Amino acid sequence: MKLTRARRGLSVPAALAAVFFLAPAAGLAQARQGSPEFAALVPRVDAWTQTEAPRSYFPESLFEYIDGAAESYLSYDFRELLVVDLEKKGTEATLTLEIYDMGSPVNAFGIFGAERYPENRAVSIGELGYLEGEALNFMTGRFYVKMLGFGLGEETGSVLAAVGAKVAAAVKVKGLIPAFVLAFPKENLVAQSEKYIKKNFMGYEFLRHGFVATYKVGGKEFEGFFVEGKSEKDAEDMLGKLIEALAGDKQTPERIALGYHSRNRYAQHLYIGRVRNVLCGVMRVPDGQEAAGGSLLEALTAAMAKPQSPK
Residues 195-206: pLDDT tens digits?
999 999 999 999
pLDDT band at residue 25 under the 50/70/90 scheme? very low
Over range 142-156, report the average pLDDT: 95
CA-closest candidate to residue 179, choices 94, 80, 283, 303: 303
What mean pLDDT value characterizes the chain?
A: 89
Residue 236 predicted with pLDDT over 90: yes
Contacts of 109 (CB under 8 A, 6+ apart): 127, 128, 139, 177, 178, 181, 196
Residue 93 predicted with pLDDT over 80: yes
pLDDT value, residue 228: 97
Q: How far apart are the first and last CA of the chain?
A: 33
Over range 104-129, report the average pLDDT: 97
What CATH code would you report for 179-304? 3.40.1000.20
Over range 274-298, report the average pLDDT: 98
Over range 155-183, report the average pLDDT: 94
Predicted TM-score (pTM) of the model is 0.87
pLDDT value, residue 44: 87
The H or E element spanning position 164 is helix 156-170
Residue 230 neighbours by CB distance under 10 Å: 12
What CATH code would you report for 27-170? 3.40.1000
CB distance 82 to 126 below 8 Å: no
pLDDT value, residue 31: 58
pLDDT in tens, 31-85: 578 888 888 899 888 889 989 889 999 999 999 999 889 999 999 999 999 999 9
pLDDT value, residue 64: 95
pLDDT value, residue 118: 96
pLDDT value, residue 38: 87
Q: Start-end ranges of CATH 3.40.1000.20 in the chain?
A: 179-304
